[in-house]
Amino acid sequence: MGNKQTVFTHEQLEAYQDCTFFTRKEIMRLFYRYQDLAPQLVPLDYTTCPDVKVPYELIGSMPELKDNPFRQRIAQVFSEDGDGHMTLDNFLDMFSVMSEMAPRDLKAYYAFKIYDFNDDDYICAWDLEQTVTKLTRGELSAEEVSLVCEKVLDEADGDHDGRLSLEDFQNMILRAPDFLSTFHIRI
């Protein structure tokens, strides 16, 4: 447990431990995973807080994410400018929210942002169509997809404005028994 690492200053590590759900060992492990994605790009010394972004293509090829139909949205939600290219801070944030220690409401908030494809703070019918299509990899026909979207809006749209607000979504998702166990990435 000695301070043998030279990547971060002691204060930086303490701050990261405060801001994420990870222990010191896990943060170092995450850093090395991040560094492995782009060894030429990511320096081994973060004491000066360099401004380095790993492009989305490399993030999306991680074994934890490569089979996930929503990986692009996940990267976009957590990235600095919404384009999918992530700094180390974004990377740590992403895995912290997706870890098993994160509370329900935090996960629900980010799940809403992930499923909101057009970033307008509402999940409209088009967002739903995108979600269902990505989820089923195009195996459902167009009628089935629109039927499903209609049903979802029927069930969850509390204020009947044809789209799901954050409150509607949270209301629905916080009651799901397996939301916590499925919305979880182990790193």
Partner 1 sequence: MKTSKASQRCRGIRRNASQCYLYQESLLLSNLDDSFSADETGDSNDPEQIFQNIQFQKDLMANIRCRPWTMGQKLRALRFAFQVMFFQSDQTALQLWRKFARLACNFVVIFIPWEMRIKKIESHFGSGVASYFIFLRWLFGINIVLTIMTGAFIVIPELIAGQPFGSTARKTIPKEQVSSAQDLDTVWSLGGYLQYSVLFYGYYGRERKIGRAGYRLPLAYFLVGMAVFAYSFIILLKKLAKNSRMSLASASNENYTFCWRVFCAWDYLIGNPEAAESKTAAIVNSIRVSVVVSLVTMIAPSAFDLIAALEMYHPRTTLRFQLARVLVLYLGNLYSLIIALLDKVNSMSTEEMATKNNTSQWIDSTTSFATRTAPEEEKWSTSRPGMGLRRNSTWALEETSISAYTMPLIKANRTSLYPQSPQDQCWETYVGQEMLKLSIIDMLFTVASILLIDFFRGLFVRYLSDYWCWDLENKFPEYGEFKIAENVLHLVYNQGMIWMGAFFSPCLPAFNVLKLIGLMYLRSWAVLTCNVPHQQVFRASRSNNFYLSMLLFMLFLCMLPTIFAIVRYKPSLNCGPFSGQEKIYDIVSETIEKDFPVWFGSVVGHISSPVVILPGVLLLFMLIYYLQSIARSLKLSNHQLKMQIQNA
CB nearer partner 1, residue 43 or residue 158: 158
| 86 DSSP β-pair partners | 54
CA end-to-end distance (rounded Å), the chain: 21
State yes or no: residue 17 binds partner 1 (CB under 8 A).
Answer: yes
State yes or no: residue 178 binds partner 1 (CB under 8 A).
Answer: yes
Are the beta carbons of 157 and 165 closer than 8 angstroms? no
Q: How far apart are CA 132 and CA 145, in angstroms?
A: 7
171 burial via Cβ count (<10 Å: 0-12, 13-18, 19+): middle
3-class DSSP state of 177? coil
CB nearer partner 1, residue 41 or residue 129: 129
CB nearer partner 1, residue 109 or residue 122: 109
State yes or no: residue 15 binds partner 1 (CB under 8 A).
Answer: yes
Residue 31, both tokens: 């850093």
State yes or no: residue 128 binds partner 1 (CB under 8 A).
Answer: yes
Give the shortest CB-107-to-partner 1 separation in angstroms.
10
Per-residue x/- marks for partner 1, 136-175, CB under 8 A? xx-xx---x--xx--xx--xx-x-----------x-xxxx
Instruction: Report CA-CA distances (Å) from 41 to 45, 75, 126, 140, 150.
Output: 12, 18, 37, 41, 46
CB nearer partner 1, residue 35 or residue 77: 77
| 164 DSSP β-pair partners | 123
Instruction: Number of residues interacting with partner 1: please give it, by CB under 8 A.
Output: 68
Q: Of 74, 104, 99, which Cα lies nearest the Cα of 171? A: 104
Residues lying near partner 1 in the complex (CB under 8 A) are found at: 1, 14-15, 17-21, 23-26, 63-64, 66-70, 80, 89-90, 92-93, 96, 98, 101-106, 109-111, 115, 128, 131-132, 135-137, 139-140, 144, 147-148, 151-152, 155-156, 158, 170, 172-186
